Amino acid sequence: MFSAMPYELFLAFRYLRSQRKRRLARVTAVVAILGIAIGVGGLIVALALANGFRDEMRDKILRGTSHLSIMRADGHPLENYRQLAASLKTIENISDAAGTTYQAGVIVGPQKPAYAVLRGLDSQSRKAIADLDGELVEGSSVSLLNRNDAQPPDVVIGIELARVTGLGIGDVADLIVSGSNIEFASPIKRSVRVSGIFRSGLFEYDSSWVYLGLDMASGLAGARGSATVISAQVRDIYDVKAAAADVRAQLGDSYTVVDWQEANRPLFTALALERRMGFFIIALIILIAALNITTMVILVVMERRRDIAILSSMGATAKSITSIFLVEGATIGLVGALLGVLAGTLTCLVGNHYKVVSLPADVYSIGNVPFNIHLRDVMAAALVAFLLSLMATIYPARAAAKVRPAEMLRNT
């Protein structure tokens, strides 16, 4: 639109660069630019921080649990879990599947006992074993799968659990779990040797999880040689719904399938709500900064009433005069948005380099939150600032177009 009216652009930029004695409008323009830049930069940083927290939680949760959990609908153990896992691997979107167990218990160390979640690992679970090996800070997981019949068998525990219980590599601890008979539940006690210590970065796992061989875990659960859950990994975590539908179609109604999004829905729903509220609140701050543009354009209109009257008497249309001041507001909004994008991006890069956002892991589950910048968030922040700046210019620009040239020239 502006390419067809070059003199409007010329006058708009000339007014912005004006060195006239009355500089209040220029100061107001600088304040508006700084306000919009701070708002856009703050919005980018807030969204990047929300993205980082969400992504860290998702990655650490999925590193320790499955993308899809398949169980029998009647709750009975899966005795044919290896055949079932092999059939699931034939589904296109399933990258790995293996049997596992989850059981609550207590681990007793030299300092004090602590609550523990016992997870059994099958030797054929390539993904789970690779993830565990990548998280080890001491020891090894090799004997975990190869010494199931050893006395005592080996386990790998979380680093926080090791700190609380006082256990180290080579130490012997007692595992206590409830019996499988509900009516006459008697605790089962088993001595184990700590062969490795892992750090996942998620406090819930590091403070309570104990990895052990599947045969031993199923024996403690009273169903040796079976699994309670088939843990399946998908190739695309965001296409997990389609993968779950394929699994249901293949296995039928006798099995229950739970995907990671469904299992963690309350957490990620809360994070999404927090992100939207943060966007809304900072957008209001940008709106307040954009109102400075309204003040600035009003001041320019007041200073340039004589010029507007002359332009109108020379044949300039109301649309052209409106466009002059719209260009001014849009230019200020664009400059502020670009400066905000630069400031926000640099802040995120510096924050990631120095890891400035550190949290107490026992409260927030993760110790450090990165700034994950997404291009769509940067574009959304800049676009919101530009549109609000343009909207803030509409009223004074239209008011300028309504100036009556004859009356204005007579009064001046």
Sorted by where each begins, the domain ranges of the chain are 2-61+267-411, 75-253
How high is the mean pLDDT in each 10-residue block of the chain (412 residues)?
56 66 70 91 93 89 87 90 93 92 93 94 83 91 67 91 95 84 66 93 91 88 83 92 94 93 88 86 85 81 73 75 84 93 96 87 76 94 92 84 60 55
pLDDT at residue 129, rounded to an integer: 84
Residue 63: predicted pLDDT: 79
Q: Check residue 146 and give its pLDDT.
A: 64
Task: Return d(Cα 289, Cα 397) in angstroms, integer.
Answer: 18
Burial 54-72 (b: 16+ CB within 10 A, else e): bebbbebbbbbbbbbbbbb
Per-residue pLDDT at 18: 63
How confident is the model at residue 29, as a pLDDT?
Answer: 79
Locate 239 and state its tokens.
């296409």
**In sequence order, which residues have a C-beta less than 8 Å from that of residue 24 and are 6 or more positions away?**
299
Torsions phi, psi for 259 (to 5 deg): -95, 165
Collect all residues with Cβ–Cβ distance below 8 Å to 102 and sequence separation of at least 6.
Answer: 117, 118, 119, 228, 229
What is the C-alpha to C-alpha distance for residues 393 and 95, in angstroms, rounded to an integer?
A: 55
